[in-house]
Structure 1
Amino acid sequence: MTDQRPQTTRQTTKASDLFVQALEAEGVEQIFAVPGEENLDLVESLRRSSIKLVLTRHEQGAGFMAATYGRLTGKPGVCMATLGPGATNLTTPAAYAHLGGFPLIMITGQKPIKTSKQGQFQIIDVVNLFDPICKMSKQIVHGNSIPSLVREAFRLASEERPGAVLLELPEDIAEEPCEAPVIPPHARHYAVASDSAIADAVALIRTAKMPLVLLGAGANRKHARSAISAFINATGIPFFCTQMGKGVVDERSELFLGTAALSDNDYLHCAIDRSDLIINFGHDVVEKPPFFMEDGGKKVIHVNYKSAQVDQVYFPQVEVVGDLAASVKKLCDALGGGCDFDKVYFNTVKAEVEKHLGEGVDDPRFPVTPQRFVADTRRAMGDEDIIALDNGIYKIWYARNYKAYEPNTVLLDNALATMGAGLPSAMAAAFLNPDRRVMAICGDGGFMMNSQELETAIRMKLNLVVMVLNDSSYGMIRWKQAGLGFEDWGLEFNNPGFVAYAESYGATGHRIEATDDLVPTITAAFETGGVHLIDLPVDYSENQKVLIDELASKTCLL
């Protein structure tokens, strides 16, 4: 007797095509990449897809752009490189995303794994190399596993705490036929904090006399601003932020005390030391807490998506774990009214902070001092405009002196704190926000690490201003060298003519020759559009004087 049941035929698909279909199902619209020959099947599949290939000039540029895309959207950014040296060039962006909490998917190629006639040429164990700095690092060994691995990669990269994921696609796997269907993504929701945790937090807040709110990096990752602003306004509790928590709440608020840009001996630390309760919204131990916990000292409430990572200086007494915005709203509702806090001393600290930050904002000296170029940047940028900082001593000046009015308008890295990320990060921000002014602010050392991406920015037709703070040295390390009492030695270098360098790529170059020219030059550059580089000579002689000597002599008197 013959079987009369209908026979179903599964469609065969080339593995690289299936990979791209899985990416499309995840909503991927672009991949930042420096491909190699091991990626060519995937490149051909991308050519026939809806996904745009953004070719960069170095794998770091691709990785930093993709990580910043993830940072700003909450959806994993995707980058691609080949095997060996291409893959190793993604290690710094992977660590950047891993420590910073940015969702990132990295796709790397590999020689054939079934048969190969090339010995060990360019072959290293990429999967194990990346494992310590990724949430998942996997080699794809069969095309049929692609849909599940891609779905899992996006789930892991984007869920709290976000981070990097690597998928290695060998070239013989990329070309093989497979039959597995794409797995579509589905909505996920974070749990709400328990009633008992809320009750414990309320009890601590009601017994506190001088509480403070700390806003950390996690509060900038999701849209928690409304709930946190409502909590601060309802309770009247003063707040401060870490460097990566800037802009979560409008820093023009009368309750804002400042940014914890220095480890200690700043005015803000006087308030922290006097406080008896710190309420942490979104704090991440990647940014070391700007206070030290001791037995019998101040109490700490940890409010975040995940429980606290405990160490010697951070062991909160109460943890409110769940969706951050929902937890903050629930906490605010449970508190109601009736809290009576002593803010007299905090108001004294705020007055001193405001007075201190107002010093030097109109300093006419040239080369330009940090207080002046930070103030002029704020004058030139609107409320929702974005600055993306590379890493150097100027990052401390901007964190302390530049007030952020909106979330994610000050993009800085206080986690890996790598040099070379400022320009690619600004490029990703400009790509995502074509109607907002975006400025990359780089030291001359950090800028030259990925300056070749100027060509990418021009090819992408971005509107972007790049301000290079020129002191012909690694200024942050010179500052530390001087602070330790060592001789000023070994950290100076020569720069190219930055105007000619920018113009060789097709950008417009500007050299600032007088301090009063900075704001008009920035404004004109944005009004003209396109890519502009501003070469700004800077004077860092204020570093030791203001950030160490003056603060040490003044803060102890508060």
Structure 2
Amino acid sequence: MVTNPFELLKAKGEALDRAAEVILAAKGPLIMVCGESSRLGQHSIDQIRDFVQRTGIPFCSTQVAKGVVPEYSDLYMGTTALSKGDYVRVAVNKADLIVTIGHSIFEKPPFIMSKGGPKVVHIGKRSSPLTQAYLPHLEVIGDIGPSVEALADRLVGKLPNAGALLPLREGILAQICKGADDESWPPTVDRLVQALQNVMGEKDILALDNGLYKIAVTQNYRTNYPNTVLVDNWLATMFAGVSSGIMAAILNPERRATVICGDGGIVPTLHELGMAVRLKLNLTVVIVDNGCFGMIRWKQAAKGFAEYGTRLDNPDFVKMAEAFGVKATLVESLDDLEPALKAASEGGGVRVVVVPVDDSKYWSLR
């Protein structure tokens, strides 16, 4: 009996049985934890985590779903950043079955289905509208947490091929992390992410604006907690990063909020620093300076277009931040990178750290 008219039921037994049959027959299964999962309550999130651990099937996360399942798990295969062409694609292409949990058509597709590709089992609160990118072979519809728990009960101890894709893990993560220990200047975005990982607490909040650096950050930065990496991967518009960071700082005053924003995205939102100061927030804004609209330049090149309108003549970001009463630092050497981030994180108040970066690694993903 449903006492709450908005309460979701566990998926029907017939659907769970069919899904179990398909998963048991898979030679190389992969779980894809998707954006809707991050909107669930903690109990349902715990049930998703248990499903992954109990089945032993490796998993990938979409950008929005980072942390729903701990990314320091030995089953973590990476975070999808592009619909095709990124490093995680090695596992996606080798899989013969992908189990999506909480997929939403409003999030950038973590993969694009094609003829001859892996079968897809869709586990969600509602049936997915069919699109050219996403056409699941089987759906398990109902309250996600209880549904995956019941599905795990049907699978545990019966999955000889659960870890078939795990030998790919080391190579995928090595490619993703390549550049994290690079000693060149300006630093790679991967090196910047590693420095941030060293400085931030495990439940601190990282909010991203949109730009080419988002690929590096979401793939390299690992978290064990949902909604600690805030990414606009629904419409993926620019200029959302600072406002997201401000709201995160307002709602979570006990945690440090950090924003990563590109040089192309920060100028139209610099005035929001003044609001953060007035609100007496603890907020760090890291400005990634590559001298251009990196994602637009990247897409122009990918389509064979001539580069047009992407280069930036940037202002002095330190002086502009100081005009709003913000303490600001320009990182001028690799030795200063992590200390500058640490000082900003521990110093309290609103801080800006400007970091020149080299994002050339990600041009190979075009």
TM range (shorter): over 0.9
CA offset at residue 441 of structure 1?
A: 0.3
Quote the residue 1:437 is aligned against.
256
Match of 2:89 in 1: 269
Give the Cα–Cα distance (whole angstroms) in 2 for the partners of residues 528 and 248 of structure 1: 30
The answer as to whether partners of 2:84 and 2:112 remain within 8 angstroms in 1 is no
CA distance in 1, matches of 2:12, 2:268: 47
Shift of 1:350: 0.7
> Residue 242 of structure 1 contacts residue 260 of structure 1 at CA under 8 Å; is this kept in 2?
yes
1:448 matched residue in structure 2: 267
TM-score by length of 1: 0.62
Greater shift after overlay, 504-513 or 261-270? 261-270
* In structure 2, C-alpha distance between the alignment counterparts of 1:434 and 1:539, rounded to whole Å: 33
**Corresponding residue for 2:49?**
229
Equivalence map 1:402-481=2 (5 Å): 402-481=221-300
User: Which structure has the higher relative contact order (CA within 8 Å, separation 6+)?
Assistant: 2
Unaligned runs of 5+ in 2: none
**Residue 536 of structure 1 pairs with residue 351 of structure 2:** no
Q: Which amino acid is the alignment partner of residue 314 of structure 1?
A: Y
Name the residue aligned to 2:153.
Answer: 333
Tell whether the 8 Å contact from 1:205 to 1:211 is kept in structure 2 after alignment. Answer: yes
Partner of residue 103, structure 2: 283
Matched residue SS, 1:267? coil
Using the TM superposition, give the Cα deviation of residue 272 of structure 1 relative to its aligned residue in structure 2, in angstroms: 1.4
Whether the 8 Å contact between 1:507 and 1:531 is mirrored in structure 2 is yes
Could you say which residue in structure 2 is the equivalent of 1:516? 335
* 2:30 alignment partner in structure 1: 212
1:324 alignment partner in structure 2: 144
The partner residue of 1:500 within 319, 322, 325 is 319
CA distance in 1, matches of 2:255, 2:60: 26
Deviates more, 1:413-422 or 1:399-408: 399-408
Instruction: Go from structure 1 to structure 2 and tell me whether the alpha carbon gap of 1:481 and 1:297 turns closer, same or farther (over 3 Å shift).
Output: closer
User: Can you list the C-alpha shifts for 1:5-47, whole angstroms capped at 9, x where unaligned?
Assistant: xxxxxxxxxxxxxxxxxxxxxxxxxxxxxxxxxxxxxxxxxxx
SS at structure 1 position matched to 2:238: coil
Tell me, yes or no, if the aligned pair for 1:367 and 1:539 is still in contact at 8 Å. Answer: yes
Q: Contact 1:213–1:281 (CA<8 Å) still a contact in 2?
A: yes
Q: Is residue 268–residue 349 contact of structure 1 (8 Å, CA) maintained in 2? A: no
Contact 2:56 2:162 in 1 (8 A): no
2:215 is equivalent to residue 396 of structure 1: yes
Give the alignment's Cα RMSD to 1 decimal. 1.9
1-structure distance, mates of 2:289, 2:118 = 43
Counterpart for residue 354 of structure 1: 173
TM-superposed CA distance for 1:256, in Å, is: 0.8
Following TM superposition, by how much is the alpha carbon of 1:297 offset from its aligned partner in structure 2, in angstroms?
A: 4.4
Would the aligned equivalents of 1:445 and 1:473 in 2 still touch at CA under 8 Å?
yes
Amino acid at match of 2:118: K
301-310 vs 481-490, which deviates more? 481-490
Cα distance in 2 for partners of 1:486, 1:460 equals: 44
% of aligned pairs identical?
43
Bigger mean CA deviation after superposition, 213-222 or 493-502: 493-502
| CA positional deviation for 1:250 | 0.8
Cα 1:483–1:292 change in 2 (3 A) is closer
- Superposed displacement of residue 188, structure 1: 4.0
Whole-Å separation in 2 of the counterparts to 1:439 and 1:315: 37
Match of 2:88, SS state, is: helix
Evaluate the alpha carbon distance shift between residue 322 and residue 297 of structure 1 in structure 2; reply closer, same or farther with a 3 A threshold. Answer: same
1:116-150 CA distance string (max 9 Å, x none): xxxxxxxxxxxxxxxxxxxxxxxxxxxxxxxxxxx
CA offset at residue 516 of structure 1? Answer: 2.0
The alignment of Structure 1 onto Structure 2 pairs a total of residues equal to: 361
Higher alpha-carbon Rg? 1
Structure 1 residue 201: deviation in Å?
A: 1.2
Alpha-carbon distance in 1 for matches of 2:231, 2:115? 33
SS of the aligned residue for 1:532 comes to strand
